[in-house]
A and B are shown apart, each in its own frame.
Chain A
Amino acid sequence: MTTEKPHISVQGLNVQIGNHHILKDINIDIPNKKVTSIIGPSGCGKTTLLKTFNRLLDNTSDVKVTGKVLVDGEDIYDPNIEITHIRKKMGLLSQRPYPLPMSIYDNIAYGPRIHGSPKKKDLDILVEEQLKNVGLWDEVKDRLNAPATRLSIGQQQRLCLARGLAVGPEMILGDESTSALDPLSTHIIEDLFMKLKEKYSIVLVTHILRQAARVSDYIIFVYMGRIIEYGPAEEVLKNPKEQLTKEYVKGYIT
């Protein structure tokens, strides 16, 4: 564990959806400016855990959350908190890219326009900067007004990343964000994550152990709604302490 203050600190989190107790007694810290991967078999609750970080879980019906999730020391489940302010801090990258039904330019400008009244000049600079950050600028600079849906899937996912970065988050959350992409696009995005961790804390949910090995600094292993093991990536993958972790990492549990 690092000695720095964690970016997110989860304390005593329990999540119930309907009659299912999805997350049981989660206590974990997400370190600052590092890549943390959450791994585990399907249905173990890793996506649910991710969604508690930006409270997108609220949109699911019949959800009950108890416990605290502290972001920069603020409990985001405090009833007095302003949700949009919290969500602005987290950029989300979903499994499949979901470009908004507008042009490439407007996709990136969407967030800034909502949170303020930026001038066109500033927006232009912002759009170019973010597109350059994700390596899309050269590919799209001549067609910024084209509908975002015309891009290839790999380009769309990068666009969604740029869109998320444009609101100035502190954190990037990725929910199996490369599973719909071809190997080349996957590689590009993974490289981006490794570059971005200089400025942002990154939490990735993935079921590809090799991806976790490639990009992560830390790994959390979740099984049946509980955190089984947590530690630096190398250790968890090569020398797991728990039996369950050993079995998963070797590929025995899926």
Chain B
Amino acid sequence: MASTQVSFTGRFIHLTLTSSMQKIRLLTDKVISKLMLLFTVASVSLLLIIGIGLYYKSIPILNKLSWGQLLTSSVWKPFKGLFGFYPFIMGTLWVTGIAIIIALPLCILTSLYIIEYAPSRLRRFLIPFVNLLSGIPPVIFGVWGVLFIIPLIQNYIAPHFAEYSTGYSVLAGGIVLAVMIFPLIVSIVNEVLRTMPQELKDASLALGATKWETIKKVILRKALPGIIAATVLAVSRAFGETIAVLMVCGNNAVSPHSVFDPGYPLPALIANNYGDMMSIPLYDSALMFAALLLFIIILLFNIISRVILASLERRMAG
């Protein structure tokens, strides 16, 4: 009898201790999860807040000039209150376009070589090596652009096309940007290619196809969604790159008509003129509007590409 009583009491005390410890544990968990929720909501709403903030600051200039005027006019005379963003939008498009045209084929070919053809020792070296490029800060790319690319264009490339160019051009911006996005595209396409099932390649080879035919007709098809994803990321990055492009683009507020013309992409506009921002009326609102434009373009780009990707994947996977 005694032993039962003792054991009963023992168990009872044991339960009480655990009960209060238990409460603390559960309370901690609840508090922390609420905190996490708060942080998460705050971070995500950053997206909204940035958009709203920029829009709010753009209102003064939107009151003066309509969206249509702002986007299509080429007249940029801040002192007279004339703000036409067309040249800058064009500058951004030219530079980004050139960068993608250069980088995409080069990177897909490189990635194919690394994953499909390179001997494994070379592969293990190449992959981290290309990644080293991604660590280099943009300003260094800009310095390199000024030292190397500008003279290259001025002295060796432009003369062939019978145009005089100072070298400061959208071509320079495009080349520098292209090199900046090499590691981005290569690393993503590498991942995509690496996860191709060997059996799928075997299926094509078993039918008598050569390795290259398998790559061309089967692998690249299957990798298409991934390649598009890489392109979108690369374009986003190129769109917003500020300092490297600023240093080599010429910063001339005129729409470029050839690759050798200078350009003035939106980010460079904002960066260059922020000093004058406060002294000229409406200038700060104009620059905030430029930032808003960038924000909207990138947002739209992201959303559209996701939609395309989702529909591609649905079509391929059935």
Chain A residues at the B interface, C-beta cutoff of 8 Å = 54, 56, 59, 61, 84-85, 87-88, 90-92, 94, 96, 98, 100-102, 110-111, 114-115, 146-151, 160, 163-164, 167
Residues B203 and A111 in contact, CB atoms below 8 Å apart: no
Chain B residues lying within 8 Å of A163, measured Cβ to Cβ, are 203, 207
- How many angstroms between the C-alpha atoms of A94 and B197 in the bound complex? 12
Q: A92-B202, A98-B199 are in contact. Are A111 and B207 (CB under 8 A)?
A: yes
The verdict on A114 contacting B213 (CB below 8 Å), with A59-B201, A61-B120, A147-B316 known, is: yes
- Residue B206 interfacial (CB < 8 Å): yes
Contact A94 B222 (CB under 8 A): no
Q: How many residues of B contact A (CB 8 A)?
A: 24
23 sampled A-B residue pairs with Cβ under 8 A? A56-B202, A56-B205, A84-B210, A87-B205, A87-B208, A88-B207, A88-B208, A94-B199, A100-B203, A100-B204, A100-B217, A100-B218, A101-B222, A101-B316, A110-B204, A110-B207, A111-B208, A114-B213, A147-B315, A147-B316, A147-B318, A149-B316, A151-B318
Residues of A within 8 Å of B317, CB to CB, are: 147, 149
In the complex, chain A residues whose CB is within 8 Å of the CB of B222:
101
Asked if B221 is at the interface (CB within 8 A of a chain A CB), the reply is yes
- Contact between A59 and B205 (Cβ–Cβ < 8 Å)? yes
Q: Are B209 and A84 in contact (CB under 8 A)?
A: yes
Taking CB atoms and an 8 Å cut-off, the chain B residues in 103-126 that contact chain A are 120
Additional 15 contacts, C-beta under 8 A, given A87-B205, A149-B317: A59-B198, A59-B205, A61-B120, A85-B208, A91-B207, A98-B202, A98-B203, A100-B200, A100-B218, A111-B208, A111-B209, A114-B208, A115-B208, A146-B318, A147-B318
* A94 pairs with B202, CB closer than 8 A: yes
A240 to chain B, nearest CB (A): 32
Chain A, residue nearest B218 (CB): A100
Q: Which residues of B contact A110 (CB under 8 A)?
A: 204, 207, 209, 217
> Which residues of the other chain, A, contact B203 by a CB distance below 8 angstroms?
92, 94, 98, 100, 160, 163
Secondary structure at the B interface, as helix, strand, loop or mixed, is helix
B221 touches A87 (CB 8 A): no
Chain B residues near A147 (CB-CB < 8 A): 315-318
Structural contact, B206 and A91, CB atoms closer than 8 A: yes
Q: How far is the CA of A150 from the CA of B314 in the complex (A)?
A: 10
Q: Do residues B221 and A101 form an inter-chain contact, with CB atoms below 8 A? A: yes
Chain A CB count within 10 A is highest, among B199, B200, B207, for B207
Instruction: Please indicate the chain B residues that have their CB under 8 angstroms from the CB of A115 in the complex.
Output: 208
In angstroms, Cα B222 to Cα A238, docked, is 47
Shortest Cβ gap from A58 to chain B (Å): 9
With a cutoff of 8 Å between Cβ atoms, the chain A residues found around residue B120 in the complex are: 61
Known A96-B199, A100-B218, A101-B222; judge A150-B318 contact (CB<8 A). Answer: yes
Complex CA distance for A102 and B219, rounded to whole angstroms: 11
- State whether B208 touches A59 (Cβ < 8 A): no
Q: Write out the residue numbers on chain B whose beta carbons fall within 8 Å of the beta carbon of A150.
A: 318
Decide if A90 touches B206 in the complex (CB within 8 Å): yes
Chain A residues closer than 8 Å to B197, beta-carbon distance: 98
The minimal Cβ–Cβ distance linking B309 to chain A, given in whole angstroms, is 15
Give the complex CA separation of A59 and B317 in angstroms.
26
**Which residues of chain B come closer than 8 Å to A59, judged between CB atoms?**
198, 201-202, 205
Q: Which B150-202 residues sit within 8 Å CB-CB of chain A?
A: 197-202
In the assembled complex, the Cα of A198 lies from the Cα of B14 at a distance in Å of 79
A166 to B204, CA, bound (A): 13
Q: Produce 1/0 per residue, B287-315, CB < 8 A to A.
A: 00000000000000000000000000001
Measured between beta carbons, the chain A residues less than 8 angstroms from B200 are 98, 100
| Cβ–Cβ < 8 Å partners of A100 in chain B | 200, 203-204, 217-218
Most chain A CB within 10 A, of B199, B208, B315, is at B208
How far, in whole Å, are A56 and B318 apart by their CA atoms in the complex? 29
In the complex, residue of chain B having the shortest beta-carbon distance to the beta carbon of A55: B205
Interface core residue of B201, B203, B221, B318 (most chain A CB under 10 Å)? B203
Contact residues in B for A114 (Cβ distance below 8 Å): 207-209, 213, 217
| With known contacts A98-B200, A100-B200, A54–B221 Cβ distance under 8 A | no
